[in-house]
Structure 1
Amino acid sequence: MSTLLLRLLPQAAELLPWLAGLATWLAARVLNMPEPLVQATGLFVFAHVEAAENRFLKSLCPIRLWRRPQTLRRKPR
């Protein structure tokens, strides 16, 4: 079975760009927008989601979580 998978892998790799183009074309048709605008919008949304995730994950950093109670325990000078 693994040899069959290895034989089909290059064919699947050639198929992926075509499927991505088809998905972009279909989304552009459904939204009645030009394809480059759909691609740019997708990149814009991806960048914003990535930034939000990074901001959220920074707040869960173990060092930062450890420092929060430490700063609350300190006495003001």
Structure 2
Amino acid sequence: MNTFSQSRTFSLASIIPWLLNLATRMLARILNMPEPLVHNTGVFVFAHVQTIENSVGKTLCPMRLLRQLRNRRRQSSR
């Protein structure tokens, strides 16, 4: 039973890259674009989304918002 579970996890680990490659090929074919362009476009979009999330995350950081609230309270009480 132990060898069955090991072979099953090995096959699941090896099938994921194959499925991603298949999805990329299918998307490239549907969009009538070369595969490398589809892959690079995905990486480019991911990088932009990550940048936006990081900038919004800094703006909405709970500690930063708490500091701003405290500063506004102090300024209004003066």
Q: For this structure pair, what is the TM-score category when the shorter chain's length is used for normalisation?
A: 0.7 to 0.9
TM-score by length of 1: 0.80
Residue 27 of structure 1 aligns with which residue? 27
Calculate the aligned-residue CA RMSD, in Å: 2.2
Structure 1 outlier segments of 4+, above 3 Å: 3-7
Provide, for residues 31-63 of structure 1, a one-character-per-residue CA deviation record: whole Å limited to 9, x for no partner.
010000000000000011111111111122122
Whether 1:57 aligns to 2:45 is no
Specify every segment of 5 or more residues in structure 2 that has no aligned partner in the other structure, as ranges: none
Among the aligned pairs, what percent are the same residue? 51
Task: Report what 1:44 is aligned to.
Answer: 44
Q: How many residues align?
A: 76
Three-state SS of the structure 1 residue aligned to 2:33 is coil
